[in-house]
Structure 1
Amino acid sequence: MAKKSKLAFVCTDCGADYPGWSGQCNQCGAWNTIKEIHLNPSKHSRDNSGYAGSHSEVHLLSDVNLTKTERISTGLAEFDRVLGGGMTKGSVVLIGGAPGAGKSTILLQAIAHMAIQQAVLYVSGEESLQQIAERAHRLGLNTAAIKMLAETSVQRICQVLETEQPQVVIIDSIQVMYTADSDSAPGSVSQVRETASYLTQFAKRSGVSFFLVGHVTKDQSLAGPMTLSHIVDAQVVLSATDDSRFRVLRADKNRFGSVGELGFFAMESGGLKEVKNPSAMFLSRAEKPSPGSVVTVLWEGTRPLLVEIQALVTESQYGNPRRLAVGLDQNRLAMLLAVLSRHGGVFTGTDEIYTNVVGGIKVTETSSDLAIVIGVVSSLRDRIIPYDTVFFGELGLNGEIRPVANGHARLNEAAKHGFKRAVIPKSNKPKESIKNLQIYPVSNIQEALGILADL
């Protein structure tokens, strides 16, 4: 007797399962995204003997053979940095981004370089082969060794891979792929999850490296179930900055490298070009200095990054003053203002405060605390901070300035860009002086405000 299909209710944005329909997803907060799907029995049985994890045996961890991870360079140093040194053999990388961000462009540039030394295959499920060929011609790429396939069935794709045996494969995109084991429509939660799992298992069994292109939702998060992030080895997102010429590639997950690593590119007529000095990109400041403008040194992945933080303090026109943070944590801004009032003697309870990170980058670490507080005080007192001064340090609830990691590397980056003075935590004071850089070590917020008055 044939088995009856089961019903399930799944959010199309995050993949959360529910026993019945409801208007709003409790996991991601989206409205009208919970859809009814039929879980039909699989038409094709899988042979588990071919997948990784079958016929497993117990081994001692000390007996496992340690071998150096083999890397494949993409030809773009910034791309390799985000991946942890290049593409790892047998890994699966999910790359997402808004339409027009340059996902297909950067992958086409990378695969053209990788095709010089190994076999590659570009699988297109959305664009025609002619469209891809025209893009490659416009970018001036050598396409003689790039093999193309227009297909959306993962079973058929894997059959072609068994025959062609490439080392690197691009799937553009995972949302249009489907597997015969699921009766759902392509792009649905079950199809995205099953196709990604199918390709990942093939990658681990054969050692083929995969790039999977993913769509993004309205809030710029990767579309599809959250399990998709757990299946892949790395997840990177390509996004545009406030200046439409530049692109930022961020690693949100990486089993073979640092999480949070950033790569910077400039969009030109010949494709995406690497930005060798990203700090200069974010420090294109106005010719005339203004109050509230402060420069800090962030640590993104494995390198320092100079960015400008702006603060604006103005009298509130209403009873409830606004506190807005763009590129910063709203809750942390409220905490810093409370510490400034309690331990710094600067009261801002009746003022509206706006903070912004120039360039569209998002600050996620606490080393910018001192710069934010100094920017607020600078705007409040209408005091201009000299262009050649940089601030960094974490602010504690008791008003102490706490040290941050990689302090010496941050100072060297500031000195390299011509900064003459640095206000830093006392514990980050270097043992040896840095050429052309005067260090002002501080231990609490009151000392930092005292130095601000002398600048």
Structure 2
Amino acid sequence: MARAAVKTVYACTECGQSSPKWLGQCPACRKWNTLQEEVAVPEPRAGGRVHPAGFGSARPLPLSEVEAGEAARTRTGIGELDRVLGGGLVPGQLILLGGDPGIGKSTLLLAALDQLCRAFGDRPVLYVSGEESARQVKLRADRLGVAAGSLRVFAETDAVKVLHAAEQLKPAVLAVDSIQTQYLPELASAPGTVSQIREVTARLMAFAKTSETATFLVGHVTKDGAIAGPRVLEHMVDTVLYFEGGGAHPYRVLRSHKNRFGSASEIGVFEMKARGLQEVPNPSALFLAERPEDAPGSAVTAALNGSRTVLVEVQALVAPTGFGTPRRTALGLDSNRVALLAAVLEKKVGLEILGCDLFVNVAGGLTLDDPAADLACIAALASSFRERSIPQRTLVLGEVGLAGEVRAVSQAESRLAEAARLGFDRVLLPAANARHAELPAGLEAVAVTTVDEALERLF
């Protein structure tokens, strides 16, 4: 009997759209070079796909009849992780954890599972390893000091066996490391393809919701820093966490990009040590620990990340250009925003800075998207250009507009309180904030309305 020909399609790694032939641009999401060849998956028969029981309702209900209550949270025992999650784990929560290779995803997850074993008592916690053997997991656990008796390790890549083991064990928490290694035997495509990731995640989501088991999924990242696989993966889960940092920096930032049960702008700070990741309860002191004294081009601002205020150092270097076109390099800040602020400096203050090379960096590897850092960036650029240092204990705060005005920032009082706690005695802030903010003891406020006035008061 002749074997049926294998049918292949080209699936988009961003949105999951399939095409019978290769295209340079995906017709659905308009991304370039995202279509990859894989074996076509036959459509399920009517009624063949399993829907999570209890995940929906049998009939439409009036909103007033829907029963709802605050979900009980379970703390992981790691304060920084609990902060990013919104206070702890919610029953049935599906969490996707991504980051560069070797940044500490498995290390953090294993330490959290060890703490959760103590929180749940006799209930087991299941850790599924698709990339390492049980012996390798044991070696890492010994290095981290993980010795929970209720932690079960299962080295398996067959998602059917993983789900069967989870249904038999009924764990309090399930962790799958990583989702790209899991596959369903009935699908002919290889592990890590769009169809495999989508189907495996759908079944894990059904298990998590029906059994109310909090589930962690570890995801690989591409060279662009995005989680590998279809973009729909991030839409299916409840929470998306990214690890940032690595390389030469000893500390890592865990950032929430999506959270249905908490703030989507929280960060947690960890430091990599010999015994794994250690929490950093006071990241402001860490980021300012190596700040040079009386060095031009350095300014400190207070950035808001969710409910946390962090003091960070914005560094700038203005140098004569050696080429026809001046360079603009920004690390931790939007390069377009830096170019805009440099134009404001030249047009509104009169500093001839646009013809120079501009290099701006946020010390510590932190990424800032808070507009309150605008005035600190301008102050650092002017300080480097004029070769005049900013006083060591002065905080610079404010958003800058194209007209050269200094605009008010949100939650000014929490920023000022953090500055006073770390010993700052003077703050440049917008006049609109100075009129209403309650200053902590020992902190002097200098109200400014324009960039020109701010630089005059600063130097």
Cα distance between partner residues in 2 of 1:368 and 1:104 = 33
Cα distance between partner residues in 2 of 1:15 and 1:361 = 32
Report how far residue 156 of structure 1 moved. Answer: 2.0
Runs of at least 5 residues in structure 1 that lack an aligned partner in the other structure: none
Off by >6 Å, runs of 4+ in structure 1: 2-5
Match of residue 386 from structure 1: 391
User: Which residue of 145, 160, 169 corresponds with 2:165?
Assistant: 160
Match of residue 173 from structure 1: 178
2:444 is equivalent to residue 438 of structure 1: yes
After TM superposition, the structure 1 stretch with the greater mean CA deviation from structure 2, 345-354 or 372-381, is 345-354
Match of residue 255 from structure 1: 260
Q: 1:50 to 1:397 in 2, by over 3 A?
A: closer
Report how far residue 28 of structure 1 moved. Answer: 8.4
After TM superposition, the structure 1 stretch with the greater mean CA deviation from structure 2, 105-114 or 33-42, is 33-42
Match of residue 102 from structure 2: 100
User: Is the contact made by 2:408 and 2:430 (CA closer than 8 Å) also made in structure 1?
Assistant: yes
User: Is the contact made by 2:10 and 2:36 (CA closer than 8 Å) also made in structure 1?
Assistant: yes
Cα distance between partner residues in 1 of 2:396 and 2:15 = 39
After TM superposition, the structure 1 stretch with the greater mean CA deviation from structure 2, 315-324 or 166-175, is 315-324
Amino acid at match of 1:40: V
Match of residue 244 from structure 1: 249
For residues 372-413 of structure 1, give each alpha carbon's deviation from its aligned partner in whole angstroms, at most 9, with x where no partner exists.
Answer: 111111111111111111101111122111111110000110
Counterparts in 2 of 1:32-71, with a 5 A limit? 34-41=35-42, 46=48, 48=50, 50-53=52-55, 56-71=58-73
SS in 2 for 1:192: helix
Amino acid at match of 1:408: E
Cα distance between partner residues in 1 of 2:51 and 2:180 = 27
Scaled by the length of structure 1, what TM-score is found? 0.93
Match of residue 132 from structure 1: 137
Report how far residue 243 of structure 1 moved. Answer: 4.4
Cα distance between partner residues in 2 of 1:412 and 1:181 = 58
For residues 246-265 of structure 1, give each alpha carbon's deviation from its aligned partner in whole angstroms, at most 9, with x where no partner exists.
Answer: 11111111111111211011
Q: 1:287 to 1:373 in 2, by over 3 A?
A: closer
Match of residue 345 from structure 2: 340
Cα distance between partner residues in 2 of 1:83 and 1:408 = 25
Match of residue 147 from structure 1: 152
User: Is the contact made by 2:413 and 2:438 (CA closer than 8 Å) also made in structure 1?
Assistant: no
User: Which residue of 122, 127, 147 corresponds with 1:122?
Assistant: 127
Report how far residue 166 of structure 1 moved. Answer: 1.0
Report how far residue 77 of structure 1 moved. Answer: 0.4
Q: 1:18 to 1:49 in 2, by over 3 A?
A: closer
Cα distance between partner residues in 2 of 1:368 and 1:40 = 50
Matched length:
451
2:457 is equivalent to residue 451 of structure 1: yes
After TM superposition, the structure 1 stretch with the greater mean CA deviation from structure 2, 178-187 or 41-50, is 41-50
User: Is the contact made by 1:16 and 1:225 (CA closer than 8 Å) also made in structure 2?
Assistant: no
Scaled by the length of structure 2, what TM-score is found? 0.92
After TM superposition, the structure 1 stretch with the greater mean CA deviation from structure 2, 416-425 or 268-277, is 268-277
User: Is the contact made by 1:167 and 1:209 (CA closer than 8 Å) also made in structure 2?
Assistant: yes
Q: 1:16 to 1:337 in 2, by over 3 A?
A: farther
Amino acid at match of 1:436: G
Q: 1:250 to 1:386 in 2, by over 3 A?
A: same
Report how far residue 242 of structure 1 moved. Answer: 5.8
Report how far residue 343 of structure 1 moved. Answer: 2.2
2:406 is equivalent to residue 401 of structure 1: yes
User: Is the contact made by 1:3 and 1:41 (CA closer than 8 Å) also made in structure 2?
Assistant: no
Match of residue 274 from structure 1: 279
Match of residue 410 from structure 1: 415
Q: 1:197 to 1:424 in 2, by over 3 A?
A: same
Identity of aligned residues (%): 42
User: Which residue of 84, 88, 93 corresponds with 2:86?
Assistant: 84
Report how far residue 360 of structure 1 moved. Answer: 0.8
Cα distance between partner residues in 2 of 1:314 and 1:262 = 34
User: Is the contact made by 1:42 and 1:181 (CA closer than 8 Å) also made in structure 2?
Assistant: no
After TM superposition, the structure 1 stretch with the greater mean CA deviation from structure 2, 342-351 or 144-153, is 342-351
SS in 1 for 2:132: coil
User: Is the contact made by 2:98 and 2:219 (CA closer than 8 Å) also made in structure 1?
Assistant: yes
User: Is the contact made by 2:320 and 2:356 (CA closer than 8 Å) also made in structure 1?
Assistant: yes
User: Which residue of 298, 301, 304 corresponds with 2:303?
Assistant: 298
After TM superposition, the structure 1 stretch with the greater mean CA deviation from structure 2, 290-299 or 431-440, is 431-440
Cα distance between partner residues in 1 of 2:44 and 2:355 = 66
Amino acid at match of 1:401: V
Cα distance between partner residues in 2 of 1:335 and 1:198 = 48
Cα distance between partner residues in 2 of 1:433 and 1:50 = 53
Cα distance between partner residues in 2 of 1:148 and 1:315 = 58
